[in-house]
Structure 1
């Protein structure tokens, strides 16, 4: 299994002077996410997806001998599609802005993998997000409740030709370690209380 960390976005919603993934929660958030994947001992390879949008993040990763896959940075879907086309394995995809991620929740998520499913997205419920004081801009209805994407997916990359018309499978895991991603300054402020 290959672990992919998406780290090539602009982070425009944060309205920061610097790069979002370099914000610190004990250490830069991007390193925290990569270490969580490493510490799970589940991956034959870990790739961090960077772009021209995140030059300082890329530099930090290179300084820490972390393998990167550089993309154009056109958009999340385009960048991810480019990476998945180059792989022939089971892949866990996570966004790089999950400061509470740890090896235990990674192991729990990987257990959700079903080989007959091409794409499984991990969701949290709106009620759970609200209980943490968080909100998200991407709701969907699943299992008779409003849910939100966590930015984590399990993908069988050798069965993908395009991200266009994939049948998406969903699993709900209400856990703050995957619910808490940094989309705003308020989220970062809340992190100190998590």
Structure 2
């Protein structure tokens, strides 16, 4: 199962990120469509995201409401409710079905996988969260025991849209990707 995390407060953006549009499509839909090519998908909402709930209802996307007490608490709650799962942030519009497939293939259901990208693969315009020499991406596998890094190659996984500037960058990238050839 893939769970899209879409219940955060979006304090840096100032509005619900999952419903913001990138190339005329809400970010949640970009992620949902790719994830849906690989596995069953559920969107994790909270009281912080009423517009995202409306989008899910309108589009027929299955969702569950988490307690909304914070990222770690919601992940723990989801793990208790569903067991091991693949998690992805709703604000990574350029995640691909192949990225989901790769992490699912590597996931044994016992050891958590933290999605990372080698820093040399991160485009220069981005400022990702760096830990132990890797950029942390919002695509992970969640289990009860331990943790290890899982290295991706898709450089656009490093674009986690948290600010208006990152949203504008995502729009520019989307226009390049979707441009007629």
* 1:92 maps onto 2:83 in alignment: no
Q: Which residue of 1 aligns with 2:114?
A: 121
Alignment equivalent of 2:125, drawn from 133, 137, 145:
133
Are 2:6 and 2:89, in contact at CA under 8 Å, matched by a contact in 1?
A: yes
CA contact (8 A) 2:112 2:142 kept: yes
Contact 2:22 2:167 in 1 (8 A): no
Residue in structure 2 matched with residue 163 of structure 1 by the alignment: none
SS in 1 for 2:125: coil
* Alpha-carbon distance in structure 2 between the residues aligned to 1:71 and 1:154: 18
List gaps (5 residues or longer) in structure 1. 161-165
| Alpha-carbon distance change, 133 to 67 in structure 1, aligned in 2, over 3 angstroms | same
Aligned residues: 172
Unaligned runs of 5+ in 2: 174-181
1:110 counterpart residue number: 104
CA shift digits 1:63-86 (9 cap, x unpaired):
211111101211011111111101
Displacement of 1:192 in angstroms is 2.7
In 2: Cα distance, 1:86 partner to 1:71 partner: 10
- Please give the alpha-carbon distance, in whole angstroms, between the structure 2 residues aligned to 1:28 and 1:192: 11
The TM-score normalised by the length of structure 2 is 0.86
Give the alignment partner of residue 36 of structure 1, picking from 34, 37, 43: 34
CA distance in 2 between counterparts of 1:135 and 1:48 reads 26
Q: Pick from 140, 148, 166: which aligns with 1:153?
A: 140
- TM-align CA RMSD: 1.7
Q: TM-score, normalized by length of structure 1? A: 0.81
